[in-house]
Structure 1
């Protein structure tokens, strides 16, 4: 699951499927007929997705793993609390607090109160400022799922302090199931190797636009075709913005293709009831 920008991000699922895992890229916001606001998300949608994937004939029994980025990481933590069908999950750079979305978990049990969107608007791109003195942690260790928690030390959206607080509040007997890795010099999004990266973003869901660079680097949406990379050797140091100027002398160049999807992986569009996403199945 990706973050609060919404849409359907397939690149991580197809990379894992190409390495032998059955993977379901789940959309939950701003995609097809799904909600456009975090406040309208129904947590039962995610529980239904877990049940659907866990019962799929191509998925081994014994529990599934969940990988979530940003808001998707928060939802992964909530799933770790809500169902014992999630045996392990990885949370890629997110907070431990609940921003407006998921409601109840189980009969009579409610997720800690939501922080209002006004808090985020006032804090700008440093979202964590809207949560000071309001930190309520998800007890994601509840069902003994194994947790891999990845953070960027230079994240300008969520402070690394939240991750350390999460570890500190976890019961000592549960900590053996948690691995926290904090990468120095790393920002909010931690992506797989060799995929295109970007230095700015626009979140239409939260109405936040920290500014788009002059030459934005966009993520490739179609994972069935390769990402084409052109390497050039030039005779001097040239800023990226001036690379295509007529005075640039290219000494040599080559064209490389980096594939997301192995040719044996099956891509299946999923529209089961309210579920929206894509299932990637490796060769059997």
Structure 2
């Protein structure tokens, strides 16, 4: 069967390799590659910078697969990998679709390199802005520096360069990033450059980790970067409903904008 649309799945910043979303997308008629950034097999345990060339190689490998029918690839991301996806779409060819879920509009935490040169410095965080709660977990929504402040504007990703389409997804109760504000910033930037290659969706009552549906709702857990338990936000029923809606939305968006030469397998939930 096939050919199928190609998708690069970025679950990269927690270390190691996560294949759950990639596996589910593959079962719905996509050729999906997910890659680790660090902390997997013989890779470094930690990193101090990110190289875009690594993802360029991954896309080239993905496009060579026999079952791939789309001329461009899709990229799907969440959290920190959201800004990596924006940079991939803005700097590399053959990216037709980018799904950004609860990330940032700037390059965060680690400087970004391409062809051995730094192309974006890192927007950093201030842990003194963490808000303690009675549960013992912290609210980290506002720990990142303001990307629109003059001293931080160099970290903003030039998404107006992207040729493909964006799907921006923000949870209104995200307590890890100010995701809705970042979406508003990106939409304003694209409009200012005369671009309309985007859709956006916001989910009231949903928290940070919007994943494929029917998994357990996770309101808080240990944060590897912060080194403390944090709140992810959301209310269980609203979060679950958002995941069901978004899962269908993602598949429809990818299929619509990653055309193949032959009919594709129809999406199932």
> Could you tell me the TM-score, scaled by structure 1's length?
0.66
Distance 1:5 1:67 in 2: 16
Contact persistence 1:36–1:205 (CA under 8 A): no
* Equivalent in 78, 91, 94 of residue 82 of structure 1: 91
Q: Which residue of 1 aligns with 2:209?
A: 189
The structure-2 alpha-carbon separation of the partners of 1:2 and 1:58, relative to structure 1 and needing over 3 Å to count, comes to same
> How far did 1:120 drift?
3.9
Structure 1 residue 131 corresponds to structure 2 residue 145: yes
Contact persistence 2:82–2:101 (CA under 8 A): yes
3-state secondary structure, aligned to 1:62 = strand
**1:180-222 C-alpha deviation (Å, 9 max, x unpaired):** 111101111111221222111223244343279xxxxxxxxxx
Distance 1:49 1:178 in 2: 24
Q: Which residue of 2 aligns with 1:121?
A: 127
Alignment of 1:1-284 (within 5 A): 1-105=10-114, 110-111=119-120, 113-116=121-124, 119-124=125-130, 125-132=139-146, 133=149, 134=152, 136-159=155-178, 160-171=180-191, 175-210=195-230
The structure-2 alpha-carbon separation of the partners of 1:59 and 1:120, relative to structure 1 and needing over 3 Å to count, comes to farther
> How far did 1:44 drift?
1.8
> How far did 1:170 drift?
1.2
Distance 1:55 1:2 in 2: 22
Q: Which runs of 5+ in 2 are unaligned?
A: 1-9, 131-138, 233-264
Distance 1:40 1:29 in 2: 11
> How far did 1:145 drift?
0.9
**1:57-107 C-alpha deviation (Å, 9 max, x unpaired):** 222241100001111111111100111111111011111121233523458
Q: Which residue of 1 aligns with 2:4?
A: none
| Higher percent of residues as helix | 2
Contact persistence 1:99–1:114 (CA under 8 A): yes
> How far did 1:155 drift?
0.8
CA RMSD after TM alignment: 2.5
> How far did 1:38 drift?
4.6
> Runs of 4+ in structure 1 displaced over 6 angstroms?
none
Contact persistence 2:87–2:159 (CA under 8 A): yes
Contact persistence 2:51–2:114 (CA under 8 A): no
> Could you tell me the TM-score, scaled by structure 2's length?
0.69
Q: Which runs of 5+ in 1 are unaligned?
A: 213-281
3-state secondary structure, aligned to 1:202 = strand
Distance 1:81 1:94 in 2: 16
Q: Which residue of 2 aligns with 1:252?
A: none
Distance 2:104 2:36 in 1: 20
Instruction: Kindly tell me the number of residue pairs found equivalent between the two proteins.
Output: 210
